[in-house]
Amino acid sequence: MIKYLLQLADNALILGHRLGEWCGHAPEMELDIALTNIALDLTGQARSLYQRVAELEGLGKDEDDYAYLRDAWEFRNALLVEQPNGDFAHTLFRQFVFDAYNYHLHQALTHSKDEWLAGFAAKSLKEITYHLRFSSEWMLRLGDGTELSNAKLKAAIEDLWGYSGELATPNDVEKELAQQGIIPDLNLLKPAIEAKMSEVFVAANVGVAAGMFMHIGGKDGRHSEHLGFILSEMQFLQRAYPGLEW
Amino acid sequence: MTSLNFEAIFQSKIDDEVKIEPKDWMPDAYRKTLIRQISQHAHSEIVGMLPEGNWITRAPSLRRKLILLAKVQDEAGHGLYLYSAAETLGADRDDLVQQLLTGKAKYSSIFNYPTLNWADIGAIGWLVDGAAITNQVMLTRTSYGPYARAMVRICKEESFHQRQGYELMMAMAFGSPEQKSMAQDALNRWWWPALMMFGPHDAESTHSDQALKWKIKRKSNDELRQNFVDVTVPQAEYLGLTVPDPDLCWNEERGRYDFGKINWDEFWNVVKGNGPCNRQRIQARTKAYEDGAWVREAAMAHAEKKEQRRMQPEAASKAA
Amino acid sequence: MKKEWPLWEIFIRSKSGLNHKHVGSLHAADAEMAIENARDLYTRRNEGVSIWVVESKHITASDPDDSDPLFEPARDKVYRHPTFYTVPDEVSHM
């Protein structure tokens, strides 16, 4: 259970971190505010999840110990969320893939046998529903907009598609929890996620080549090179001046 | 009615504290002054996102990260409220942004200073936002309605900015010796630039008299600066930090603090573009603007196509 | 060719039972985006339960120069206000 909660928390933390990198640099000022809002939602979710992990572990750790004092191999986020922002099409497509998965996941998690998790999911679902609406609409804007934006979106899909499969491919932790009825069977969620994605793809006039290789490993701590750099920036103060209150 | 009459009616409204609204007659110079001042203020909010935005990815706790994200986001929001007020005067936001990027428009010089350690985030909230609030509270009563209303909203939101800054400074000043020296270092670097934020001395301020007469401004630069020093010095003392001004002392007779001479050469130098970060700030905004062009165009093109499809559903379905 | 996002006027209902009130403007490419931007810009602190957006160019405002003929005539119609009428103190609930 703890491993799974860390998976959820790390996804939210790392994606929120990436979105925070946009702050002050977005394509339009209104988008600065929108992206920051999503970053705030995700970072807030990560915080609740780490607090829950601390409670379950009972080792006297706090939320920041998990975010700031673990090394890359202990992080359990999917590879997708640590991918660099790239241009706005990359950021947006990464967000859309994550939101489509996250929305269906949290919808199912509201029925979890674990009361805390069900409550957390119900609360987060409201935020995630909005995220999916935002990213779906922007998929259409970029896909349907101009020739240039369509080409950029296609390039982003090409670059990131290989990281889109991991989210809904169950690892051992997820298989076990699914059997216990604590989380949904991801294989059963897949059709709904794929339906949403293809609906948006068609409307956005983009597609993907069939049979592209799908990378996995992030959820079990095997990451891309990017995560180490994220952590060295994020954890700098906590590492340089250990044990202080900020 | 002659324009002299218009002007007399306008001034009597101002004198009677009647707000001027967008479609009311106003002297050209009043309109121009307002557009200049409001857009400078908006630019300052937007450029002001950069020095603090710097530290979002390095914030040392999740709580601090959320606070900082929310604060920098507020600054974008405040920029937008202000551009919105400027647009009621007939200005076009894109033109105003162009003026910023080409260096034609100014913004608050304070944001041309770098954020070098984490305590700078506290110092900005405490001192820079503190100085800004001193100014902004006055502007909630400014004579132009949309500007005054934007300022009311901004002031409400800004009060959290200053408090979170001071709270951060407390954590640092009462923390480890390293943290305390970060706090002192931040105060050393931000104190004087914060005092400069109120602008030149009244005697040398070119726009002041007219702005006071039109009640765009309601207090002079020196008056506001003195108010700021008076409230801030005891706050620094509480933190156990030293204000970097050897001439600073309490004047019993005036009931106010006397303080040292401001280095106006430095001030004008930064205004002219030679601050530590002038170039980087404008380059960062220009990059965001240019890199974002295709995104803004795509959204516009999609909106137009959508509208066309709505107007001519048959033609669209035939074409498809 | 300059084509920036058009300007929209934003109206927010702060809670059920109150009117929508003008709060300011923002830029957006279309109505959906205007609503989302308004949500993010004008309701960050729980200020609203409903949003209206109108593209600014569709708003027609009265001319301040017409304010005398428009609004002055209503000023002396005092009989429209309840205070115009005297009712003895003994008569209550009126």
Cβ A33–C37 below 8 Å, yes or no? Answer: yes
Query: Tokens in use for A63?
Result: 């939320």
Whether the CB-CB separation of A9 and A66 falls below 8 Å is answered with: yes
Q: Model confidence over B191-217: pLDDT tens digits?
A: 999 999 999 998 887 777 888 888 888
b/e sequence C49-82, b meaning 16+ C-beta within 10 Å: eebbbeeeeeeeeeeeeeeeeeeeeeeeeeeeee
pLDDT for B32 equals: 96
Handedness of CA B226, B229, B230, B232 (dihedral sign): positive
Closest-CA distance, A198 to chain B, in angstroms, reads 19
- Where residue C94 falls among pLDDT bands split at 50, 70, 90? confident
- At the topology level, CATH places domain C7-61 in Ubiquitin-like (UB roll) (3.10.20)
What is the mean predicted confidence (pLDDT) over B126-146? Answer: 93
| All structural domains of chain A with their residue ranges | 2-240
> Domain limits of chain C?
7-61
C36 CA to centre of own chain? 20
Q: What is the pLDDT of residues B299-310, one digit of tens each?
A: 999 999 999 998
CB distance A168 to A189 below 8 Å: yes
| Per-chain mean pLDDT for chain B | 94
- Kindly tell me the number of DSSP H helices and DSSP E strands found in chain B: 14, 2
**Chain C residues within an 8 Å CB radius of A133:** 36
**Chain B contacts of C29, Cβ < 8 Å?**
296, 299-300, 302-303
Helix B62-87 × helix B28-47 angle, to 10°: 160
Q: What is the pLDDT of residues A63-112, one digit of tens each?
A: 999 999 999 999 999 999 999 999 999 999 999 999 999 999 999 999 99
Asked whether the CA dihedral A141, A146, A150, A156 is positive or negative, the reply is: negative
Contact B118 A237 (CB under 8 A): yes
Q: How far apart are CA B86 and CA B82, in angstroms?
A: 6
**Bridge-based pairing state of the strands C7-13 and C20-27:** antiparallel
Look at residue B3 in the predicted model and tell me its pLDDT: 67
Q: How confident is the model at residue B1 (pLDDT cuts 50, 70, 90)?
A: low
The rounded Cα A228 to chain-centroid distance in angstroms is 17
Residue with tokens 């121009």: B32
User: Tell me: the pLDDT tens digits for C7-38?
Assistant: 999 999 999 999 999 999 999 999 999 999 99
pTM of the entire predicted model: 0.94
Q: Which long-range contacts (CB under 8 A, 24 or more apart) does A45-48 make?
A: A45/A8, A45/A9, A45/A12, A45/A120, A45/A124, A45/A127, A46/A9, A46/A10, A46/A12, A46/A13, A46/A16, A46/B62, A47/B62, A47/B63, A47/B66, A48/A120
Contact B306 C41 (CB under 8 A): no
B222 pLDDT more than 60: yes
Query: Confidence band (pLDDT; 50, 70, 90) for C2?
Result: low
Structure tokens at B73: 């986001």
Q: Determine the Cα–Cα distance for residues A161 and A31; give it in Å rounded to an integer.
A: 24
**pLDDT < 70 stretches in chain A:** none
CB-based contact B58 A237, cutoff 8 Å: yes
Provide CATH code, domain A2-240: 1.20.1260.10
Neighbours of B308 (CB within 10 A): 13
Please give the Cα distance from B59 to B81 (Å, whole number). Answer: 27
Q: How far apart are CA B121 and CA B133, in angstroms?
A: 17
H-helix or E-strand spanning residue B9: helix B3-15
> Mean pLDDT lowest for which of A64-78, B78-92, B257-271, C63-77?
C63-77
- Asked if the C-beta of B319 comes within 8 angstroms of chain A's C-beta atoms, the answer is no
pLDDT value, residue C6: 95
CA-CA distance, A13 to A41, in Å (whole number)? 10
Cα B125 vs. chain centroid, distance in angstroms?
12
